[in-house]
A = this chain, B = another copy of it.
Amino acid sequence: MATRKSRTERRADLIQAAQRAMLRHGPDGVLLNQVAEQAGLTSGAVLYHYPDLSDLLLEANQAGMERFYEQRMQRLAGLTDPAAKLVVTIRSGLPVDGEDADVRLLCELGGLAGRNRVYAALLTSLFDRQVSMYQTILETGAAQGAFTLTADSLTLGRNLVALEDAYGYRIVARHPTLRTDEAAELILSYARQVTGNPLRAAA
């Protein structure tokens, strides 16, 4: 028998278990027993905490998105130089490799979004928040004289997030030559051009 845990602890466990199960079987096709197995419980125990599996999956995916966004913000926290901020942010939007759990989950949801309005709305909101994040960096950099923007920050921010997203999919699909380093360089080539800043990758 699994060790008995408090409601809060178990729910947190289940969210992680659901994320692992979705990585293996997809957010759409994951089964109650697969989540239970990941949690080291029986299906009945899962149902005790989440009578409706789709509620658990939704919470798990929301948690994954928040985690992804929060991690990006944290990596940004200590930096002051606009160029360094931009370089770090571009990196943090890409999966570290094809196994990257957070990004793989986001990619899975991207497919779902065509059929599921709830996930579509969540992803849309995540996209817009990331665009805002880039806009802040770009405009702050421009105000400080570090960047000379070639278009409005909304256009540039959207294109930067779009590039990240797309290369995330390529890396997750294991493109043989387009790995994280190459993808970062491709996005940086765009960022250099639209900011007029050399953006040393080592920054």
Contacts and interface: CB of A to CB of B under 8 A. Distances in A.
B26 A120 contact: no
A133 interface: no
A29 interface: yes
Interface stretch (A8-16, A70-78, A111-119, A135-143): A111-119
A114 B104 contact: yes
A84 interface: no
Given A158-B186, A163-B162, A111 B173 contact: no
B166 A124 contact: no
B24 A115 contact: yes
Contacts of A193: 150-151, 193-194
Contacts of A163: 159, 162-163, 166
B165 A178 contact: no
Interface string A4-46: 0000000000000000000111101100000000000000000
A115 B159 contact: no
A178 B169 CA distance: 20
Contacts of A69: none
The interface centre, meaning the residue of A124, A155, A167 with most chain B CB atoms within 10 A of its CB, is A124
A169 B110 contact: yes
A174 interface: yes
